[in-house]
Amino acid sequence: MFRFVLSFLGAIFSWVVTAAAFFILTVGGVLWIYSQDLPSHEQLAQYTPKTISRIYSGEGKMMDEFAEERRIFVPVDEIPDIVKQAFISAEDQNFYHHQGFDPMGIAAALRDAALGGRLRGASTIPQQVAKNFLLSGDRTAERKIKELILSTRLVQALPRDRILELYLNEIYLGQNSYGVAAAALTYFNKSLDDLALNEAAMLAAMPREPGRSHPVRDHDKVLFRRNEVLREMQENGYLQDAAYRSEIEQPMRTVQGGDYPNFRSTLPPRDYFTDEIRRQLSREFGEEEFFGGGLSIRATVDADLQVIAARALQRALEKYDRSRGIWTGTRRTIPAESLTAEADWRQALRAADVPRDIQGWHPAVVLSLGENDARIGIEGVPEDEDGHWIPAKDVQWARKRLPDGRLGRQARVASDLVEVGDVVLVRQMTSDSDGSFIRWTLRQVPEIQGGFMAMDVNTGRVLAMQGGFSYQSSVFNRATQAQRQPGSSFKPFVYAAALDNGYSPATIVVDEPITLNTPQGLWAPKNSSGKFYGPTPLRTGIEQSRNLMTIRIAQDIGMNTVAKYAEDFGAYDHLGNFLANSLGAQETTLMKMVAAYAMFANGGERVEPTLVDRVQDQRGRTIYRHDRRECRTCGQPAWPVGAGPVISTNRERVMDAITAYQITSMMEGVVRRGSGRGVNLPVPVAGKTGTTNDAKDVWFIGYTSNIVAGCYLGYDQPRTLGRGAFGGTLCVPVFQEFMEEAVREYGGTPFKVPPGGHFVNIDRFTGQRLGPNAKGDNVIAEYFRDGAQGKDFIDGGWDRVDPDTLPLYSRGDGGGQAVTTSTGQKKVIPKKADFGTLSSGGLY
């Protein structure tokens, strides 16, 4: 019997040993098989997670952020202990002791699940790192085996704190938040250092079901899990009993529950400036690096001037729109069933897709119509006893655009423009004297659009940019993306080319009809006035924007020369060699034109416009810097009194400095006597208007000694702006409003006169050289190159006139005139027969 028992026990032992050996060999074989094609864990030593790229103003204020996955990388030694302890307690309480996987943790999880107790994760933090970084998320036995193998390798290859750093910066915690720092902002609008214990515990409760753990919709479930994490922290010795009892009694306060402001709400609304930075840097660095590289971007924007630029452009666009007297509204409505209760219409109004980035404007909904007035409910404005109303007199400026495109009758009462349920935009009308409230008034986003941009003429730093009336209404940037005809604002390039090719500001050019053969037939261009003015100095040609003089100049020097100048200035990548292009017929962008004008202002040196001063990667290394000028004296311990740093520009010279000054002087005349007369600043200013055929586009670009700014207005689908629409009437007021503030902030000086020339008094009507003591409204001190004779009379084929007998002529209403030379002789200048006939009488 005893031998039988021993034999039986021996057999059992043999079977157990054999089974154990078989199991070990099987497990070993499986592990060996799956370990052969695993991804390398060594790459995690150099792993840099995708993080948010942020844009800051020059003062260091955050303006915007961009990311595909909202993540902020934080080194492990900067993560507070309570956050680490909360996640270790919730996910892997033996993290610092096991070898990659935790048999005791797995056994405890199985026991608790079997007994119906608390659920706890069976995967360790190294396993989760292996899964998140190196494997797919498939729920298969194969993936689990690979995860176990990799986790053991990870703990052998990396310090535990490095593994924890990877985990806490990578883990998905819901609401598009990856990593604990981003989640802290998302749920509490706090940095990690400011989190309370219960808030850290709530974050640690999120990884189990991040997509189904909304703190409002799933409040009770999230609260239960938070308290479970706090209990785990107590059991693991991270919390004292008193602290644990205090923390579980705390209510769950979150951004989603309205207890804290949304982090995004603390940022300015996204605008054209930051979106253009996104567009340019995505192109420069690639979208993957921009959206995931954790870039720190220092923008060139002047925040105060950006506000002024937006307001000035919006005022001009709205003023034109209201002058047309057509009501278009928002074309958004709210169903009648949502208007009965205040909570319902407020919720529906919040969901309405209307712009909310226009200062002082509020979305509203028409709740009811009276005999004359309309009652409205306004987003963000509490209801009062009397309600809010749009009175009849506020609508009588407009006619409603009907569904078939026709215009309705002139509005007399509110119901002529709006209906119950219409979503509208309103703002407060206030008294100019004391700012007291008068009434709510209807507003609308204009159909006309435009762009504005201002930059430093010496560095190319863009100080302000507005690409339309409202970014939320239309993200298309008219300052950088819209290709439009610049019209007469192109003419300075023609005149610059002429000055570098033998002309002077006093050169006489005949303003007379011309007919040209083109592939499309005969072309007979005209001046905007429809008149012709005879022999005229170059200066007057640009001051009065004479089309025929410009064409004759371009014909004389050659359109290939003009095109080269325009391309060298960066106004065009390629300008066609057609005479019509001398009048600005080929399309370009406002940004290119403004940058080109900066080269007139700075004396002819190339500048590249930039919206970004500097870009740093997530470890603080500068990977881009715009200003590469060399400071020669910045190393000195002190500068002489009144002296500043000596900076070497080391920039390419695009044009001769004397030519740049001559063009600037001539464009000062545009502002004083020409189409830019609406500009009135306390510092010298030069500029040029532009108005295209049928007034489809209107422009003004102007500059002081340090700032250049440009404005463009027009419809996105080009059509005429109507009679009275000119660059001087629509764009000059925008420039004036902006530059008033810019000059207060940045000042301005007389334009620098370059060496190598001398001043001569000239009669601006005739080009006649006058004595040094000549005075009067017609006397201009022109700057001539030393030793250069220059052309005196250009007409495309007329006889040359001796410089001492340059023509004087009486100004008329068009046509040619008899002229009197400076010696008192009467003279009729012959005319080439193929120039066409004069539009009015004359002696020739």
Name the residues annotated as catalytic. 91, 488
User: CA nearest 98: which of 156, 157, 31, 170?
Assistant: 156
Q: What amino acid occupies position 174?
A: G
Are the C-beta atoms of 816 and 512 separated by less than 8 Å?
yes
Paired sense of beta strands 70-71 and 177-178, if any: parallel
Count, in order, helices (H) and strands (E) of the chain: 21, 33
Site of tokens 């030593």 = 45
Are the C-beta atoms of 701 and 643 separated by less than 8 Å?
no
Are the C-beta atoms of 609 and 595 separated by less than 8 Å?
yes
Site of tokens 């004292």 = 240
Q: For 682, which DSSP code?
A: S
3-state SS class at 518: strand
Q: HSE of 803 in the Cβ direction (CA atoms, 13 Å)?
A: 11
3-state SS class at 110: helix
The rounded distance, in Å, linking the Cα atoms of 346 and 326 is: 28
Instruction: Note the Cα 601 to chain centre separation in Å.
Output: 24
User: CA nearest 529: which of 515, 509, 549?
Assistant: 549
User: CA nearest 226: which of 250, 242, 243, 191?
Assistant: 250
The rounded distance, in Å, linking the Cα atoms of 768 and 396 is: 56
Are the C-beta atoms of 144 and 131 separated by less than 8 Å?
no
3-state SS class at 622: strand
Are the C-beta atoms of 172 and 211 separated by less than 8 Å?
no
User: What is the DSSP track for 297-362?
Assistant: EEE---HHHHHHHHHHHHHHHHHHHHHHTEE----EE--GGGSSSHHHHHHHHHTS-----STTEE
DSSP H helices in 213-298 = 219-235, 241-248, 272-285, 287-292
The rounded distance, in Å, linking the Cα atoms of 124 and 98 is: 9
Which residues face 369 on adjacent strands?
374
Q: What amino acid occupies position 755?
A: P
User: What is the DSSP track for 353-390?
Assistant: -----STTEEEEEEEEE-SS-EEEEETTS---SS-EEE
Q: For 675, which DSSP code?
A: T
DSSP H helices in 697-785 = 732-746
Distances, alpha carbon 380 to alpha carbons 349, 388, 439, 470, 791, in Å: 10, 13, 17, 20, 68
Site of tokens 């790459």 = 43
| Residue 428 neighbours by CB under 8 Å, 6+ apart | 360, 437, 438, 439, 440, 441
User: CA nearest 758: which of 654, 656, 661?
Assistant: 661
| Cα angle, residue 587 at apex, residues 710 and 733 outer, rounded to 5° | 25
Q: What is the CA radius of gyration of the chain?
A: 37
| Residue 21 neighbours by CB under 8 Å, 6+ apart | none
Are the C-beta atoms of 462 and 530 separated by less than 8 Å?
no
Paired sense of beta strands 296-299 and 53-56, if any: parallel
| Residue 201 neighbours by CB under 8 Å, 6+ apart | 86, 90, 226, 227, 229, 230, 233, 247
